[in-house]
Amino acid sequence: MQSDLLLQQLGTARDRKRKFRDLTIEAVDESVLSDSAWTDYERDGDSKARAAKHALFFRSVFMPSLASALTRVRSGDAEALAAFGNRLEDGLKRRLAEQPAAMHSFVHTIVLAK
């Protein structure tokens, strides 16, 4: 798991202070953020709404970097960018609606000091 690797590389402040590029690692923490769309789904059973929320999040966060690998997008083709984003979002909505599952997020917080 990547989070385990990150924590191994950085160590924890509870064990001892460590240096990272001339900075001292004061604290390392991992938090789990619950899936609010899943909470809504458990309440109302609307798998399409849950899928739409997750697909829109995925599109806004990851689509730009994924699309940057496309030659037409790199050359400035806005239509290709929109088409790729729409196809990605539509496919995700369909797949996520068919296979509902909670998607919790892991957040790592690292406090560095000079």
CATH number at residue 23: 1.10.1200
What is the reported pLDDT for 110?
87
What is the reported pLDDT for 26?
83
Based on the structure, what is the number of domains in the chain? 1
Span 56-83, pLDDT tens digits: 999 999 999 999 999 998 899 999 999 9
Rounded average pLDDT over 21-34? 86
What's the mean per-residue pLDDT of the chain? 85
Query: Which domain does 79 fall in, by range?
Result: 2-113
- In sequence order, the 6+-apart residues with CB closer than 8 A to the CB of 26 are 13, 17, 111, 112, 113
What is the reported pLDDT for 21?
74
